[in-house]
């Protein structure tokens, strides 16, 4: 089975080797990686990894009409690795597929979900847990505390990325799910959530969220280390988002993802294999030098950003802010009611416009 992971990166050098080693351990056989505007040497690392046979690297320079990630996915649509893949997932470098069934492999997951052709891998939001300094250590070992299952608000806690069978049922790739469904192939595209539960047929064509209030992590979860250390988060804010040209991160992004109420170490099943693969990669003198350069760049970039009042103030706010706590059932229901009211008002506005 050929399983393809597609990603788009900018200034992710310190985290690249762990992410690749982890997903090789999970069972991805091919990696299609796009890079843009790298200052830390991530693009040079990717070139070296391509020489070593670990991945395919395609530079993705701007300008882009819809942002670097969407431009990359449009190019990926026509790539031979996509045509050759049996299963495909579009995942970011801060997202780690964690299989909880069988031997922890994609093959075990696919077998457990058979005959599904699409598996919604819901984010598990891993918080900062008070870590201030950036450290050159595995992300999966530093950050082990996360949000509880079934959290309804913020709504991002229910978002998923899709592992899907490449059966010609979709004509285009998407950030969270495949797009452009082919009508005559929909009958064979059963969708399930991360616990193997059958999802409604509407998921074949749309939806980005797992059903609210359920535990979607029984067979697989997508560990989402969106924040990292406080120092790394400041550098991430400086970088900007991958799916658009502008729009920095801010405190709202931090607060809506900084959940540390539960401990989850299910990813530890891969630790030994990932450590061995990472050590092998770092044994390559070129990669070792480039990795060290990327680590040094990140530390230097944070120091430079601290000369700016804007970023120094952001760092101070991070130090001041406690971890986020899940809303009470009462507060959750209140947020749902407010959302329903807003939706009803919007629909009424549309109806009024149609009558006019």
Reduced DSSP (H G I as helix, E B as strand, rest coil) percent helix, strand, coil of the chain, to 5: 45, 20, 40
Pick from 176, 3, 28: nearest CA to 84: 3
Question: Cα angle at 106 between 143 and 108, to 5 degrees?
Answer: 110
Residues 288 and 309 in one domain: yes
Instruction: Specify the pLDDT at position 244.
Output: 40
Residues 291 and 332 in one domain: no
Paired tokens of 127: 């918080």
Residues 208 and 353 in one domain: no
Residues 285 and 259 in one domain: yes
Helix/strand/coil for 120: strand
Helix/strand/coil for 228: coil
The owner of tokens 């690795």 is: 81
Domain count for the chain: 2
Instruction: Specify the pLDDT at position 192.
Output: 98
Paired tokens of 211: 């059903």
Q: Where are the beta strands (DSSP E) in 259-306?
A: 262-263
Q: Where are the alpha helices (H) located in 27-176, listed in sequence order?
A: 42-51, 68-77, 80-84, 106-113, 139-142
Residues 125 and 233 in one domain: yes
Residues 53 and 152 in one domain: yes
Enumerate the β-bridge partners of residue 88.
4, 164
Instruction: Specify the pLDDT at position 242.
Output: 45
Instruction: Specify the pLDDT at position 351.
Output: 62
b/e 259-296 (16+ beta carbons within 10 angstroms → b): bbeeebebbebbeeebeebbeebeeeeebeebbebbbe
Residues 288 and 343 in one domain: no
Residues 249 and 348 in one domain: no
Q: Torsion angle of alpha carbons 260, 294, 272, 108, nearest 10°?
A: 70
Paired tokens of 14: 């310190």
DSSP at 245: S
Residues 147 and 295 in one domain: yes
Instruction: Specify the pLDDT at position 66.
Output: 85
> HSE (CB half, 13 Å, CA atoms) of 261?
11
Residues 87 and 222 in one domain: yes
Residues 355 and 295 in one domain: no
Paired tokens of 228: 């990292």
Residues 23 and 140 in one domain: yes
- Name residues of the chain where pLDDT drops below 50: 242-247
Q: Note down the domain range covering 332.
A: 328-356
């Amino acid at each position: 089975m050929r399983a393809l992971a597609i990603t788009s990166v900018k200034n992710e050098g310190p985290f690249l080797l762990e992410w690749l080693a982890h997903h090789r351990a999970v069972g991805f056989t091919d990696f299609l990686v796009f890079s843009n505007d790298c200052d830390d040497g991530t693009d040079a690392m990717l070139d070296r990894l391509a020489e070593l046979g670990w991945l395919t690297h395609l530079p993705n320079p701007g300008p882009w009409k819809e942002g670097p990630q969407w431009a990359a996915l449009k190019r990926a649509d026509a790539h031979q690795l996509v045509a050759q893949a049996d299963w495909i997932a579009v995942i970011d470098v801060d997202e780690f597929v964690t299989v909880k069934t069988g031997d922890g492999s994609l093959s075990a997951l696919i077998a457990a979900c058979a005959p599904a052709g699409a598996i919604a891998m819901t984010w598990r939001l891993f918080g900062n847990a008070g870590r201030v300094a950036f450290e050159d250590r595995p992300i999966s070992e530093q950050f082990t505390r996360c949000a509880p299952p079934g959290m309804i608000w913020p709504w991002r806690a229910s978002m998923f990325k899709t592992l899907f069978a490449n059966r010609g049922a979709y004509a285009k790739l998407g950030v969270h799910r495949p797009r452009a469904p082919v009508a005559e192939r929909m009958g064979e595209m059963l969708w399930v959530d991360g616990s193997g539960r059958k999802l409604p047929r509407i998921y074949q064509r749309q939806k980005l969220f797992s059903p609210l209030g359920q535990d979607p992590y029984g067979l697989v979860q997508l560990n989402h280390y969106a924040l990292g250390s406080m120092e790394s988060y400041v550098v991430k804010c400086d970088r900007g988002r991958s799916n658009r040209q502008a729009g920095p991160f801010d405190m709202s992004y931090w607060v809506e993802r900084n959940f540390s109420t539960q401990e989850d170490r299910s990813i530890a099943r891969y630790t030994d294999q990932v450590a061995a693969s990472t050590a092998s990669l770092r044994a390559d003198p070129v990669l070792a030098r480039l990795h060290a350069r990327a680590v040094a760049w990140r530390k230097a970039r944070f120091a430079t950003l601290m000369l700016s009042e804007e970023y120094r103030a952001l760092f101070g706010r991070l130090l001041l802010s406690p971890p986020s706590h899940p809303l009470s059932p009462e507060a959750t229901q209140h947020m749902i009611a407010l959302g329903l009211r807003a939706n009803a008002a919007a629909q009424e506005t549309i109806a009024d416009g149609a009558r006019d």
